[in-house]
């Protein structure tokens, strides 16, 4: 590598770090992202300046393909589908590491004559990259609802099968390590690691998916750093390791916000042994209400707290919700929004949507801030949120979500729940809130329900 | 060379830990998406190996794999940064007002 390349790499590192620092603050985030992107541009440019680079046509072809596929995907994806898009982008990054490791194996005849650290780092990259690719695809499938969101588990043998997949992966890798150069071994490593990725993510319930994506993100970062070690490329080492480290911290922050531990999420699937996952709902009754009743109830309230969830995102109801809140405010009702850290399918999901609808920032209250206020709230309007309002998290030690901090919606004087049907939430468990005497259900698509409430409010 | 690279690895790890200290919940998703874009740096790996800068012989199949790897890496980079930007753009509308009001409060 020439001095120019190294110098440009150093500039790129500085921009990555500066950009990431910007991304942690609300006012500097947009600029931070841009700065990091510029850093990436410089790193790519510098790499192309490495003396002796050939196969230009193929390199351009790869970059062109990636751009043609990536740009429209990123530009056209709906805000509600953002989380799965991040999972997908993360997955292809891991896939790239795995493929590079595969080629490394082929082009060196099974790492013959290479220093052992090159082999170890390449094999690490192959395994982690493959796990990340397939795990991310499962996360994508679950969030996109191609796969069911509830945990898909083998039950008791799950842990054993996972362990076997891990052993098989390591066995293939060690066989390569002890000098074998059979192509089948590197393919075996990649395939068993793929199985491991699928097996680990499939039993995890949708509610934990944000943490899983963040964890896989950190893993891809580490695999990129390993690939950098193998290829003696400092840019990859630095950028990959920064992502690996910052991604781990971020995963921890997210898990904390949900009161879940990372080992519990990865090892057990949601709720471990499936205790009390589906309890009888047959004899429980719920009360249905109409848009007219809901409008009257809210217009005579002193304080209404809106609790948005994934249902609001899917229905794209944020704009009508804002309009409804304005009407209520004109009638002298105080309107606030209670934002659970993991409402929707990602932290910050609701903030993004409500900000898009021009909801004043001051009205968005975080969980700790709003939980003390529910007991003097007249109406809590739950729009397509489910698990984050489930009192079982507080009361029922047998519940899979027990211990997760929730919005204490049940403490308010009355609750109106906007929901499409009595189906369970993403965690696949029933919500006793709906059967409480103070709760009324308003069935239908969130957008049309709120629109109906607006019509009724106008006539009052 | 290995030792120098390992030293870089360890130091980069500490930088990564240090950068992420306090992040508001609101920014968890954009931050995850931003770091996600950065590990698209694997694109460089594809370029280095396919560009033959390290002097290995490649079969047609290897080249095919590498083109896919470069495409994957590019998707990761380009898509990642664009998606992050779109997420953050959602905050923009009200952000200036808030920023100025905070500034005003500090001055007073």
Out of A350-364, A393-407, A418-432, B56-70, give the one with best mean pLDDT: B56-70
The whole-number average pLDDT for the span B38-66 is 89
Q: Is the pLDDT of residue A374 over 80?
A: yes
Q: Catalytic residues of A, which ones?
A: 387
Residue A223 has a pLDDT of: 97
Partner residue opposite B16 with nearest CB, options A24, A246, A349: A246
- For residue A168, is pLDDT > 90? yes
B58: nearest CA partner in chain A? A107
Identify which has the larger pLDDT, A137 or B89: A137
Position A143 pLDDT exceeds 90: no
- Inspect the interface and report whether the beta carbons of B72 and A66 lie closer than 8 Å: yes
Map tokens 């009161």 to a residue. A259
**With pLDDT > 70 as the criterion, what percentage of chain A qualifies?**
93
| Mean model confidence pLDDT for chain A | 87
Question: Is B22 a residue whose pLDDT tops 80?
Answer: no
**For residue A176, pLDDT beyond 60:** yes
Task: Give the lowest-confidence range in A179-183, A450-454, B56-60, B66-70.
Answer: B56-60
Q: How confident is the model at residue B91 (pLDDT cuts 50, 70, 90)?
A: low
**Is B106's Cβ below 8 Å from some Cβ in A?**
no
Chain B contact for A265 (CB, 8 A cutoff): no
Q: Which residues of B touch A19 (CB under 8 A)?
A: 34
The pLDDT of residue B3 is above 80: yes
pLDDT bin (cut points 50, 70, 90) of residue A155 is confident
- What pLDDT does B37 receive? 96
Phi-psi region of A445 (alpha: psi -120 to 50; beta: other; left: phi over 0): beta
pLDDT tens across A226-270, in order? 999 999 999 999 999 999 999 999 888 888 776 677 887 776 554
What pLDDT digit, counting tens, does each position of A310-348 carry? 888 888 888 999 999 999 999 999 999 999 877 776 777
**Gap from B105 CA to chain A (nearest CA, Å):** 15
What confidence score (pLDDT) does residue A421 get? 79
pLDDT of residue B57: 79
Please report the pLDDT score of residue B36 as a whole number.
95
> Are residues B82 and A70, on separate chains, in Cβ contact within 8 Å?
yes
Q: Any chain A CB within 8 A of the CB of B89?
A: yes
Q: Which of B5, B25, B47 sits opposite A347 (nearest CB)?
A: B25
Least confident range of A143-147, A163-167, A341-345, B48-52? A341-345
Is A363's pLDDT higher than 50?
yes
Q: Which residues of B touch A235 (CB under 8 A)?
A: 41, 44
Q: Which of B3, B6, B7, B16 is the best substitution to test chain A (most A C-beta atoms within 10 A)?
A: B16
Q: Taking a contact as any Cβ pair under 8 Å apart, which residues of chain B between 42 and 61 contact chain A?
A: 42-59, 61
In the structure, what pLDDT confidence band is assigned to residue A194 with cuts at 50, 70 and 90?
A: very high
Predicted local distance difference test score (pLDDT) of residue A402: 76
Minimum distance, in Å, between the CA of residue A411 and any CA atom of chain B: 24
Average pLDDT for A31-39: 96
Q: Say if pTM beats, i.e. exceeds, 0.80.
A: no
pLDDT surpasses 60 at B108: no
The answer, yes or no, to whether residue A147 has pLDDT greater than 50, is yes
The whole-number pLDDT of residue A102 equals 96
3-state helix/strand/coil string of chain A = CCHHHHHHHHHHHHHHHHHHHHHCCCCCHHHHHHHHHHHHHHHHHHHHCCCCCCCHHHHHHHHHHHHHHHHHHHHHCCHHHHHHHHHHHHHHHHHHHHHHHHHHHHHCCCCCCCCHHHHHHHHHHHHHHHHHHHHHHHHHHHHCCCCCCCCCCCCCCHHHHHHHHHHHHHHHHHHHHCCCCCHHHHHHHHHHHHHHHHHHHCCCCHHHHHHHHHHHHHHHHHHHHHHHHHHCCHHHHHHHHHHHHHHHHHHHHHHHHCCCCHHHHHHHCCCCCCCCCCCCCCCCCCEECCHHHHHHHHHCCCEEEEEECHHHHHHCCHHHHHHHHHHHHHCCCEEEEEECCCCCCCCCHHHHHHHHCCCCHHHEEEHHHHHCCHHHCCEEEEECCCHHHCCHHHHCCCCCCCCCCCCCHHHCCEEEEEECCCCCCCCCCCCHHHHCCCEEEEECCHHHHHHHHHHHHHHC
Report the percentage of chain A scoring pLDDT > 90.
Answer: 52
Chain segment A414-449, per-residue pLDDT in tens: 999 998 877 766 666 778 888 888 898 998 888 999
Section A187-211 average pLDDT? 89
């Amino acid at each position: 590598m020439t001095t120019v390349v190294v110098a440009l790499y150093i500039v790129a590192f500085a921009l990555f770090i500066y950009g990431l620092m910007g991304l942690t603050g609300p006012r500097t985030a947009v600029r931070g992202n841009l700065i990091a992107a510029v850093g990436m541009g410089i790193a790519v440019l510098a790499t192309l300046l490495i003396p002796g680079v050939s196969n230009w046509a193929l390199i351009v072809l790869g970059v062109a393909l990636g751009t043609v596929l990536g740009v429209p995907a990123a530009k056209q994806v709906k805000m509600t589908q953002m989380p799965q898009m991040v999972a997908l982008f993360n997955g292809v990054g891991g896939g790239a590491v795995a493929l590079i490791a595969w080629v490394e194996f082929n082009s060196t005849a099974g790492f013959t004559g290479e220093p052992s650290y090159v082999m170890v780092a390449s094999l690490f990259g192959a395994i982690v990259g493959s796990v990340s690719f397939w795990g991310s695809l499962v996360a994508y499938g679950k969030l996109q609802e191609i796969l069911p969101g509830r945990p898909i588990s083998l039950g008791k043998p799950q842990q054993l099968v996972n362990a076997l997949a891990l052993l098989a992966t390591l066995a293939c890798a060690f066989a390569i390590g002890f000098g074998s150069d059979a192509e089948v071994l590197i393919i075996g490593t990649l395939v068993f690691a793929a199985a491991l990725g699928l097996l680990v993510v499939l039993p995890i319930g949708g509610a934990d998916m944000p943490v899983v994506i963040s964890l896989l993100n950190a893993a891809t970062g580490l695999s990129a750093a390993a690939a950098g070690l193998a290829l003696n490329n400092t840019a990859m080492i630095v950028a990959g390791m920064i992502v690996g480290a910052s991604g781990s911290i971020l995963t921890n922050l997210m898990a904390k916000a949900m009161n879940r531990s990372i080992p519990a999420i990865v090892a057990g699937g949601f709720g471990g042994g499936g205790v009390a996952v589906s309890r009888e709902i047959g004899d429980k009754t719920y009360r249905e209400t109409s848009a007219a009743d809901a409008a009257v109830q809210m217009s005579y309230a002193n304080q209404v707290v809106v609790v948005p969830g994934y249902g609001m995102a899917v229905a794209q109801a944020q704009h009508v919700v804002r309009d409804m809140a304005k009407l209520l405010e004109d009638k002298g009702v105080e309107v606030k929004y209670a934002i659970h850290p993991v409402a929707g399918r990602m932290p910050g999901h609701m903030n993004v949507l409500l900000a898009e609808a021009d909801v004043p920032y001051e009205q968005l209250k975080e969980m700790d801030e709003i939980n003390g206020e529910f007991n003097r709230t007249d109406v809590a309007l739950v729009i397509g949120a489910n698990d984050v309002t489930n009192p079982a998290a507080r009361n029922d030690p047998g519940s899979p979500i027990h211990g997760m901090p929730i919005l204490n919606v049940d403490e308010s004087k009355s609750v109106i729940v906007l929901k499409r049907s009595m189906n369970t939430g993403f965690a696949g468990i029933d919500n006793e809130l709906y059967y409480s005497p103070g709760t009324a259900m308003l069935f239908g698509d969130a957008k049309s329900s709120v629109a109906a409430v607006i019509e009724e409010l106008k006539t009052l | 060379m290995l030792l120098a690279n390992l030293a870089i690895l360890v130091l980069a790890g500490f930088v990564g830990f240090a950068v992420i200290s306090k992040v508001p919940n609101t920014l968890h998703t954009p931050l995850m998406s931003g770091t996600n874009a950065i590990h698209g740096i694997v694109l460089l790996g594809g370029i280095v190996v396919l560009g033959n800068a390290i002097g290995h012989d490649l079969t047609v199949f290897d080249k095919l794999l590498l083109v896919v790897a470069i495409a994957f890496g590019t998707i990761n980079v380009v898509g990642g940064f664009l998606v992050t930007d779109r997420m953050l753009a959602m905050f923009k509308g009200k952000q200036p007002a808030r920023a100025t009001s905070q500034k005003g409060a500090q001055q007073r």
